[in-house]
Amino acid sequence: MAKAARYLGKPYSIEGVVIEGANRGKQLGYPTANLVVKDAHKLIPKLGVYAVKVQIMDQLYGGMMNVGYNPTFSDTEGLHLEVHLFHFDQNLYGSALTVLFIDRLRDEMKFEEWIS
């Protein structure tokens, strides 16, 4: 991500609209905003977990984003883009977000236990 930012002169980013997900993050105390990317031709970063900054209107928030297929859960299909915003507690359904990718932290992984 650092190399991409150097070449671009800014962090790589995607824009999306927040849709409702399965609400599992909320159940765990870490709600996520599930994104649908506006541009169907936009390149999505490699699967994994990222440190991000998220722009909502004129405000910038820190957060973590997972790009992947949610391997812990057998009832999900397709690629998911989910971002958790630090110190944020507002309803974002239908809102447009810009996610700036700061650093890739790790690969996506399957967790053996899910507490429902």
Q: Which residues contact 97 (CB under 8 A, 6 or more apart)?
A: 15, 16, 17, 18, 33, 35, 54, 55, 56, 83
pLDDT digits (tens, 9 = 90+) for 20-44: 877 676 766 778 899 999 898 999 9
pLDDT digits (tens, 9 = 90+) for 70-108: 756 665 667 889 999 999 989 999 999 999 999 999 988
- Examine residue 114 and state whether it is found in any structural domain, yes or no: no
Euclidean distance between CA atoms 55 and 57, whole angstroms:
6
Task: Look up the pTM and report it.
Answer: 0.86
- Examine residue 111 and state whether it is found in any structural domain, yes or no: no
- Examine residue 115 and state whether it is found in any structural domain, yes or no: no
- Examine residue 84 and state whether it is found in any structural domain, yes or no: yes
- Examine residue 116 and state whether it is found in any structural domain, yes or no: no
How many domains in the chain?
Answer: 1
CB 63 within 8 A of CB 110: no
CATH number at residue 20: 2.40.30.30
Residue 79: which domain range? 2-106
